[in-house]
Amino acid sequence: MSPLNRKLGRDLWRMKGQVIAIAMVIATGVMLLVMMSGVVTSLNETRRAYYERNRFADVFAPVKRAPLHIIRDLADLSGVSVAEGRVTGSALISLPSLELPLRATALSLPNRSEPRLNAIHLTDGRRINSDNADEIILLNSFARAHKLEPGDKLSATMNGARRTFRIVGLAQSPEYLYSVAPGEMISDDSRFGVIWMSQTALAAAYDMQGAFNEALLSVGRGNNLQETLERIDHILNPYGGLGAYGVKDQTSNRFVSEEITGMEGSSKVVPPIFLAVAAFLLNIVISRMVQSDREQIGLIKAFGYSNWEVGLHYFKFVLAIAIGGAVLGCIGGIALGRGMMNMYLLYYKFPILVFQLDPAAFVTAFLTSILAASAGGLFVLRQVFALSPAVAMRPPAPADYSRAGKIGASLNRLLDQPSRMILRRITRQPRRMIGSLTGIACGMALSVSMISLLAGFDRTMDLTFNVLDRSQVTVTFTHPLAIHAIHEINAIPGVIRIEPERVVSAIMRNGTRSYRGAINGIHADATLKRAVAKDLSPIVLGKQGIILSKGLASTLDITPGEILTVQILEGRRPVLRIPVANIAESLFGSPAYMQLDALNRTLKEPLRVSTAYMRIDANRADQIFKQLKNRPSVAGVSLKSDARVAFQKMMDNGAGSMRFIMVAIAAIITFGIVYNAARIAYAERLRDLASLRVMGFTKAEAAFVLLGELGVITLAALPIGGALGYYLSYAIAEGFSTDLYQIPTIFTPSSYGIAALAVLTAAIASGWLVKRDIDRADLVSALKIRE
């Protein structure tokens, strides 16, 4: 081993505290990069393999009722490789232990063969015997939520008739990776199930003998999907086609895609922040190290080492920290990624989900960490090249403090001697103080942004369930009903208030941008479900115009006053041009609102409703639910309290769970930054502190000189870090937001207070560790250090 390499080992050990702190900052950035890249790769690859293995359809084409021979016409279309028809219907499941009926979707399976598209993955039991009309296969997640097993009985209402079925198997399906009831957005395994029955049995239950109401198609990759959808619609329109759509608009796939998009967005924002902080810290450490090693650099050059050899020695110091941090980060990223897979496996219904390492992520992690570290050290290495042996072996010229001394002269008579020493240090070496102050301000900014992120998630919950939707119960009908259905429900004892809504499926277009969703028709004076402005004041719905949520308006790139093209996917399927009247605040989903009467009038279907929102007397809830369960027109009844719990679960899993990990990491990084600043100050002032001890200062008084300086810098960094955190919060919130939910940036006094408390706690802990070193310092060795 060469002498310079032995010196490198001694330097790393001598500065082990700072080395570990900076390596941990690099490790966190690399860990997040490796974990997020691996999660994205795992979800994408597992989804692709699952779709291929189970022959997931490329196109879904719902229709009211079409004869089976139409499937041949669909299969003959150019580019269509497989076409299959099936029967679907809504159902209500009744469980003895629950008064509230549970929503379900019933799907048909071919009588004596495997489905050519959307095959199911059997997890328990056996396949259906088509000769037995009472046999069903149940969605695995729903069955597990209610402890149902093959062999159990299940009662369900289909098409107004209650029947009892026997469960023969449990299954998973690529169609229900994210299982959610039609028209809803929140997955709840205990509130929504899927029932598979034989084609003959389900067709008989829904009067679909010899017909189908949904076509599944597989389309070649080289074909124009939009043209294929238009040809499919042309064939199905005479039979009540409801608009064919591709897999990207399929409900489950859309939610999985949004999760992946959210993780990708976070991976582009968060890791670079930590690596940038690491580069800044390395810049400070290497700069101070070169200054303290002036004499050694001169001696090394005097012994014949070239500028490049000496520069490479210090660059190796940077690389050792970067590579060590990258290795730790890769190991941590793998461990954290595997933990995330277990969480995703509970959230998304894959048969198996294994964390797949992305080789490119490792290469990127090492390169970015080395580049970040190099950026922090290369500028300082110029000082090494500039030092000649003769100059380096002499102490640096004393600094001119004549001007700096005037800054605090007026305060000197008000301060005691140790305090004056602190003031002189700060005023005489402003660049060093600014470096330390900036580092601590970065820690404060990270803490502020992470706490603001937590507050943003809480705001999303509060706005969704306390401001926009103030109901307690939501009733969904099987089809649009006349308004008197609302009056009948309102007459049930215990119903305090009821408000109708009409939900109409539609495709909204603005130029080349489009979104497949729904229009919500609500009363102008609605109080239970309403649209609100940015200041949370209710928006008055006029007789003309449409109100778009903020997320939807962003997706469509449209502003109030512009004209929106709306293709209705129900009834006569008219194409409308509606002016955008206003933009509503919404942090969950992408709703669009119209006045109920105006929507019905536009569709030429007056006094029609599809949903009802209610407030009820909790003491009469069981009687109300019992009456609703017995109404054949009711497709489902849901409690907002259940939806809130499910939404919280959704936010706490998947990409949303990253906020907890990042808060913990931010706390660690904040401590590392403050501790690093304290260690640098201690290394620079060790000789001064030893001199004070020899002159008669006590350990506490000597420590006060150093720790007082750290305290002043920390307090000065808090407001600067708060301002940086304000802007950083916007970038991080944008990275977490998706089309499914948007995370607002929330700033409250408590956010700044908690962040400041975290920084101060880190400063106190760092100060205690440094004071321990001061008390243990060898005064003789310290006094031998040359200035």
Output the pLDDT for position 593.
Answer: 92
Whether the Cβ atoms of residue 767 and residue 375 lie closer than 8 Å to each other: no
* SS3 category, 719: helix
Output the pLDDT for position 57.
Answer: 94
Residue of higher predicted confidence among 404 and 196 = 196
Q: pLDDT band at 225, cuts 50/70/90? A: confident
Whether the Cβ atoms of residue 516 and residue 245 lie closer than 8 Å to each other: yes
Flag whether pLDDT at 702 surpasses 90.
no
Q: Name the residue among 263, 376, 433, 360 with its Cα closest to residue 25.
A: 376
Q: pLDDT band at 303, cuts 50/70/90? A: confident
Q: pLDDT band at 94, cuts 50/70/90? A: confident
- By the 10 Å C-beta count (0-12 exposed, 13-18 middle, 19+ buried), 722 is classed as buried
Which run of H or of E encompasses 372?
helix 359-386
Q: List the Cα angle 740/743/464 in 5-degree steps.
A: 70
Mean pLDDT across 203-219: 93
DSSP one-letter string for 272-335 = HHHHHHHHHHHHHHHHHHHHHTHHHHHHHHHTT--HHHHHHHHHHHHHHHHHHHHHHHHHHHHH
What are the residue ranges of helices labelled H in 185-224?
Answer: 199-205
Instruction: Say how far residue 344 (Cα) sits from the centre of its chain.
Output: 13
Output the pLDDT for position 214.
Answer: 94
Output the pLDDT for position 398.
Answer: 56
Output the pLDDT for position 67.
Answer: 94
Strands 211-219 and 59-67: antiparallel
Output the pLDDT for position 737.
Answer: 67
Phi and psi at residue 356, in whole multiples of 5°? -105, 125
Strands 121-125 and 59-67: unpaired
Q: Name the residue among 567, 489, 502, 15 with its Cα closest to residue 281.
A: 15
Q: pLDDT band at 573, cuts 50/70/90? A: confident
Residue of higher predicted confidence among 330 and 308 = 330
Whether the Cβ atoms of residue 138 and residue 179 lie closer than 8 Å to each other: no
Output the pLDDT for position 383.
Answer: 63
Share above pLDDT 90 across residues of the chain, in percent, rounded to a whole number = 23
DSSP one-letter string for 512-529 = TEEEEEEEEEE-TT-SSB
Mean pLDDT across 362-388: 69
Output the pLDDT for position 120.
Answer: 92
Q: Name the residue among 660, 666, 659 with its Cα closest to residue 758.
A: 666
Q: Please state the domain extents for the chain.
A: 88-202, 429-467+641-787, 495-616
Q: Which residues of 503-514 are buried (b: 16+ CB within 10 A; e: fewer)?
A: bbbbbbbbeeeb
Helix, strand and coil content of the chain, in percent to the nearest 5, comes to 55, 20, 25
Output the pLDDT for position 437.
Answer: 79
Output the pLDDT for position 403.
Answer: 54
Q: Which letter does DSSP use for residue 111 in this model?
A: S
State the Cα–Cα distance between residues 454 and 656, nearest whole angstrom: 10
pLDDT digits (tens, 9 = 90+) for 135-162: 999 999 999 989 999 999 999 888 878 8
**Helices 640-652 and 430-462: crossing angle, nearest 10°?**
150
Q: pLDDT band at 281, cuts 50/70/90? A: low
Flag whether pLDDT at 746 surpasses 80.
no
pLDDT digits (tens, 9 = 90+) for 619-653: 888 888 888 877 878 888 888 888 788 777 766 66
Share above pLDDT 70 across residues of the chain, in percent, rounded to a whole number = 85
Q: pLDDT band at 74, cuts 50/70/90? A: very high
> Locate tokens 């048909």: which residue?
108
Output the pLDDT for position 110.
Answer: 92
Q: Which letter does DSSP use for residue 537 in this model?
A: P
DSSP one-letter string for 578-598 = EEEEEEE--SBS--EEEEHHH
> Locate tokens 């109404």: which residue?
631
Q: pLDDT band at 56, cuts 50/70/90? A: very high
Cα–Cα distance list, 381 to 279, 282, 368 (Å): 14, 12, 20
Least confident range of 42-56, 246-260, 273-287:
273-287
Torsion of CA 724, 730, 735, 741, to 10 degrees: 150
Mean pLDDT across 284-288: 67
> Locate tokens 């306390």: which residue?
466
Q: List the Cα angle 346/347/350 in 5-degree steps.
A: 75
Flag whether pLDDT at 83 surpasses 90.
yes
Output the pLDDT for position 750.
Answer: 77
Output the pLDDT for position 86.
Answer: 95
State the Cα–Cα distance between residues 432 and 283, nearest whole angstrom: 12
Q: pLDDT band at 529, cuts 50/70/90? A: confident
Phi and psi at residue 784, in whole multiples of 5°? -80, -10
Output the pLDDT for position 51.
Answer: 92
> Locate tokens 């940077």: which residue?
318
Output the pLDDT for position 784.
Answer: 57
Q: pLDDT band at 662, cuts 50/70/90? A: low
702 CB-near residues (< 8 Å, 6+ apart): 689, 692, 693, 774
pLDDT digits (tens, 9 = 90+) for 384-418: 666 666 665 565 555 555 555 555 555 555 666 67
Mean pLDDT across 58-84: 92
Q: pLDDT band at 218, cuts 50/70/90? A: very high
Residue of higher predicted confidence among 742 and 444 = 444
Flag whether pLDDT at 606 surpasses 90.
no
Count of Cβ atoms closer than 10 Å to residue 664 Cβ: 12
DSSP one-letter string for 391-412 = HHTSPPPPP--TTHHHHTHHHH
Mean per-residue pLDDT of the chain:
81
Whether the Cβ atoms of residue 651 and residue 658 lie closer than 8 Å to each other: no
Whether the Cβ atoms of residue 57 and residue 292 lie closer than 8 Å to each other: no
State the Cα–Cα distance between residues 612 and 482, nearest whole angstrom: 12
Least confident range of 160-174, 592-606, 690-704:
690-704
Q: Which amino acid is at 355?
A: F
Q: pLDDT band at 687, cuts 50/70/90? A: confident
**Helices 251-292 and 430-462: crossing angle, nearest 10°?**
170
Which H, E and C letters describe 229-240, residue by residue? HHHHHHHHHHHC
- By the 10 Å C-beta count (0-12 exposed, 13-18 middle, 19+ buried), 646 is classed as buried
Q: Sheet containing 245-246: give its strands across.
A: 80-86, 211-219, 59-67, 245-246
Mean pLDDT across 599-621: 89
